[in-house]
Amino acid sequence: MLVFAHAGLTISAARAIDRDVDPRWAAALALGPDLLDKPLSLLDPALINHNTRSFGHTVFLSLFVLTALLIWKRRPKPALVLWACYIGHFLLDSMWRDPNPAILFWPLLGDFPPFVRGPIADSFTPWNVLGEIAGLILLVRLSRRHRLFERPRLAAFLKSGRLA
């Protein structure tokens, strides 16, 4: 999955559960594993066996994220909704398929597996393409519904995270 799928699908699901969820945090947590792992794969590829999925895509780090959210939010429901945004990334990335379980359950199943490079066309599976289209549609609908294409509304949203 790519950016629109992670952000759009996750924000929509989170808002279906809790209308008060901050979409900015939902999107950041939905993209969190990639925001950590992609730069890491460029900075120190040998550390993670040249993989583009590593620490951010592990259950271990997700438990750390949950703990931080529980401390920050101080109430279980908002913390759990935001944690579900982070965990949803694993679902959208199909982390149950090979070789991802070794990453997901690191360090229990050993080191990170070597990255297997496929053709760029491997990224354009029906799952990814449909996810990107659906995510983009949901983000555009949300933006239109709350008139985020208007500069003052967008500025207010970016400042507060509230959809008026």
Is 150 inside any structural domain? no
**Tens-digit pLDDT profile for residues 37-76:** 999 988 988 888 888 889 999 999 999 999 999 999 988 9
Range of the domain at 38: 3-114
Global pTM reads 0.90
Domain count, the chain: 1
Can you tell me which residue has the tokens 């040249």?
A: 50
| 143 assigned to some structural domain | no
**Is 42 within the bounds of a domain?**
yes
Residue 29 lies in a domain: yes
